[in-house]
Structure 1
């Protein structure tokens, strides 16, 4: 027993010696004695409490960096009182868990004003299922996968989220295949005899005159592409990625837009950051609204470059205008310009050209055609691309689809509207904006219909360096919150001396005309929605 006890004592002594040696090496490597000596020398005239505070700061720098310990998903309400997802991030800081931040992501669901009760109920159930699934993903697997990761390593976090989502997509595919096989096996039945062939058409009697030839059928419209599939619960990916980015910014005492800019510029801080130009909705119309503005979904006001965000709203007469085509009804292959008035796709090109000729202050057309009408996109870009921006909004593919194909030039346009939704991560946003800018296109950052009061998307737009930001009209608290955030960021950049300015709207057409005339073109007169409506009535 004595020998055994002596052996344990000897082993314990060796372990203590080993721990002491490791501690000495750690102190020596981190030069702790010198730091303490400098600290004590510099705090000779400080109170003991101050000394302890400085000591705490000194040792906190040697502590392990904060790591994610828990991610929490919750079902909350968006700006329209509809369910959406909130994500909270908890980090371990000096051995204690702490709630760092929360974000709310907007859903991708459209809001139908005049939907039938059956459609409204089906969409409500689908939305609830999407949010509930996202909450489950966050609170179960995602929180386990992210435990121990450092929030500042956004690329690693996004890769974990991407792998998780790919597994979910594969699971969904296998589930659908299994359901299909089960359904096919249950409907198998003995084959019934084939139906008798139809009787032959009556033969034409001798001397009967040939019937009048049918008029040539109008060119059929290209059927609409099926909507891109959205995996139920996918909003969990985008929400968690954003929450981690915001957590990293808060731990570094940085604004979110700066961390996004560092992410885009490979951790090199840009000398200047520009504020995106506002696209402010003046009039919301569309097919469901009365009057003669059915051609347009929105009339949007864009300020001149050089005006601050604070000077931009409310809209002033000198501002440029944009026309958002949105969705138009079709009948027999024609677009519904006004109630009961239809034009073919080729006639629509002429209509837009006439409109720009009469109102050169219109500097952007958003979704002038359906994305299926690629021939007309080519025509209008060739006709007007040198005089205004041709922008694809709903006509564009989703960010994940664009990145998968590695091509943003499916249609011929000047720019794209991008949104942070579904499985779009921060890394995806950086990649898509780099791809857009690499093609010399402009990027427009837009909000979804189901908005929330979370103003993070403004920081994303500034950090990504997009040209425009489309937030809707100056109404409802969730929108005004975002406008106010843009003004705050602009003030911060101005105080730091890092505020850059967008260049003037310059188009090849106007520069060419000025070159021929030997002088600058005249500034177009401001226009108003009523004037556009009157001209459309004439057309």
Structure 2
């Protein structure tokens, strides 16, 4: 017992001596005595409490910078009461772990109207598995991989997350290949012979049909696969960016702007133009083919965001009074005009874009691919459009958002930052849009708490920028005026643009044929 106790005592003594040696080297390298002497000389006439405060600030600056010590994932509910992911970041600050911030990411799952019970149940199971997998990733591997990294090292964090995600994609690929190999080994059941062709009636000529041949409807494009749990990547990346901003006492939008402009801090930031949904259309809309999904209004660029919303609220009141009447009876869709299949007809897209692209913005919404695919291919011109709607979901990191907006800017494309259907009350989306400098932001209608929270955040940021003198004006926000185009055409001897129909004849004929 004595020897064992003596061994522990010697070990403790050696550890203390080692710590003292490290402390002396640290003080010598950082010239702590000189700094303390200067500090005491500068605070000679201050009260003791002030001296202690200055000493505390001095030592805090000499302390080790905060590093990530733990990342926690939780299953929470979004604005529709459906499961989604919350991520919390803990950092080691002056040798103590501290909870810094949390974020909630929106899911990519769509809310389908009148879905079959079997389909709704399958999607519910898929959503639950996606969130559970994301929580498991965050609480196990991701928290281990990020431990010890400074939150300010956003590029390093995103690279770690990207490498982790690529390994998960490879694991899923190998699993599918193994399942396919096992299926190929099973004995396939021979398929029954095709049925014989129908016998011709007596007197019917060959090649003649009683019914008109209908135009075949193109099959829908295959849905891009989403790896279960991928929302963990985007949520952790956003949480780290928000943590870095809070530790630097900066708003999130400023840190995002610094990520996009690393060479120099931008002196002016602009507020994106609002795209506000005033009327949502659907199967109960009067349109026979349900061509409209929603009516969106954009405030005048000369107004502040708050003024624009106030005017839109007045417009919405008048719209509500107008449509407060029983909907018209539903009419059966004619043969060959299935409303659900009209959205899959892409033949007329080029005609519409060529006819209207120079006079209005054609924005690709549903047809936009994921950000990871756009960055992988570097092709944002298919389908033809004036711009794309980008969303922060799944494995999209802060570095990806910076890269895709830079790519859109280089191609002179419009970037619209939009929210998903499964929204949450997290208002970080607004900071991302302002920091990235996008042209438009689409937050949905002026209702529901998770949306109003984002509008209020937009007002707050606008007021902050005005107070700091950092609110800029984007010249691209000024739309071309049809009156100016008409005057130019008249001077040049051509027909004024205002006298032309909104939809040219060839487009209307194409829509009629469709």
Give the unaligned 5+ runs of structure 2. Answer: 1-10, 317-329, 500-510
Report the TM-score, using the length of structure 2 for normalisation: 0.83
Out of 423, 428, 444, the residue aligned to residue 472 of structure 1 is 444
- CA-CA distance at 1:196 after TM superposition: 7.6
1:188 aligns with 2:187: yes
Q: 1:34 to 1:338 in 2, by over 3 A?
A: farther
Q: Note the alpha carbon deviations across 1:198-251, whole angstroms, 9 max, x for none.
A: 77987999xx67346347634423211011001111100000000000000000
Distance of 1:212 and 1:507 partners within structure 2: 56
Aligned ranges for residues 67-466 of structure 1 at < 5 Å? Answer: 67-185=67-185, 187-188=186-187, 210-211=205-206, 213-214=208-209, 217-266=213-262, 268-286=264-282, 288-292=283-287, 294-316=290-312, 340=333, 370=343, 373=346, 375-466=347-438
Distance of 2:292 and 2:416 partners within structure 1: 19
Do the aligned residues in 2 keep the contact of 1:303 with 1:319 (CA within 8 Å)? no
Instruction: Determine helix, strand or coil for the equivalent of 1:210.
Output: coil
Distance of 2:27 and 2:110 partners within structure 1: 59
- CA-CA distance at 1:105 after TM superposition: 0.4
Distance of 1:493 and 1:402 partners within structure 2: 32
Do the aligned residues in 2 keep the contact of 1:68 with 1:90 (CA within 8 Å)? yes
Do the aligned residues in 2 keep the contact of 1:274 with 1:502 (CA within 8 Å)? yes
Do the aligned residues in 2 keep the contact of 1:292 with 1:339 (CA within 8 Å)? no
Q: Which residue of 1 aligns with 2:323?
A: none
1:516 aligns with 2:475: no
Q: 1:339 to 1:434 in 2, by over 3 A?
A: farther
- CA-CA distance at 1:486 after TM superposition: 0.1
Do the aligned residues in 2 keep the contact of 1:370 with 1:395 (CA within 8 Å)? no
- CA-CA distance at 1:46 after TM superposition: 2.0
- CA-CA distance at 1:53 after TM superposition: 1.8
Distance of 1:138 and 1:114 partners within structure 2: 34
- CA-CA distance at 1:149 after TM superposition: 0.5
Distance of 1:95 and 1:237 partners within structure 2: 27
Q: 1:239 to 1:338 in 2, by over 3 A?
A: farther
Structure 1 stretch displaced more, 469-478 or 265-274: 265-274
Instruction: Determine helix, strand or coil for the equivalent of 1:440.
Output: coil
Give the unaligned 5+ runs of structure 1. Answer: 1-10, 321-336, 349-368, 525-535
Distance of 2:197 and 2:456 partners within structure 1: 74
Q: 1:165 to 1:510 in 2, by over 3 A?
A: farther
Distance of 1:169 and 1:396 partners within structure 2: 22
Instruction: Determine helix, strand or coil for the equivalent of 2:395.
Output: coil
Structure 1 stretch displaced more, 244-253 or 47-56: 47-56
Instruction: Determine helix, strand or coil for the equivalent of 1:108.
Output: coil
Distance of 2:296 and 2:458 partners within structure 1: 18
- CA-CA distance at 1:312 after TM superposition: 1.1
Instruction: Determine helix, strand or coil for the equivalent of 1:314.
Output: helix
Structure in which a larger fraction of residues adopt helix:
2
Instruction: Determine helix, strand or coil for the equivalent of 1:27.
Output: helix
Q: Note the alpha carbon deviations across 1:296-341, whole angstroms, 9 max, x for none.
A: 1100110011210110113449999xxxxxxxxxxxxxxxx99637
- CA-CA distance at 1:45 after TM superposition: 2.2
Distance of 2:224 and 2:46 partners within structure 1: 65
Distance of 2:138 and 2:15 partners within structure 1: 42
Distance of 2:200 and 2:77 partners within structure 1: 69
Do the aligned residues in 2 keep the contact of 1:419 with 1:446 (CA within 8 Å)? yes
Q: 1:290 to 1:45 in 2, by over 3 A?
A: same
Q: Note the alpha carbon deviations across 1:317-375, whole angstroms, 9 max, x for none.
A: 9999xxxxxxxxxxxxxxxx996379999xx9xxxxxxxxxxxxxxxxxxxx84761x4
Distance of 2:85 and 2:129 partners within structure 1: 12
Instruction: Determine helix, strand or coil for the equivalent of 2:306.
Output: coil
Structure 1 stretch displaced more, 66-75 or 105-114: 105-114
Structural RMSD (CA): 3.5
Do the aligned residues in 1 keep the contact of 2:419 with 2:443 (CA within 8 Å)? yes
Q: 1:201 to 1:388 in 2, by over 3 A?
A: closer
Do the aligned residues in 2 keep the contact of 1:284 with 1:298 (CA within 8 Å)? yes
- CA-CA distance at 1:21 after TM superposition: 7.0
Distance of 1:79 and 1:42 partners within structure 2: 54
Do the aligned residues in 1 keep the contact of 2:74 with 2:86 (CA within 8 Å)? yes
Report the TM-score, using the length of structure 1 for normalisation: 0.79
- CA-CA distance at 1:388 after TM superposition: 0.8
- CA-CA distance at 1:456 after TM superposition: 0.3
Q: 1:141 to 1:34 in 2, by over 3 A?
A: same
Q: 1:379 to 1:58 in 2, by over 3 A?
A: same
- CA-CA distance at 1:23 after TM superposition: 4.9
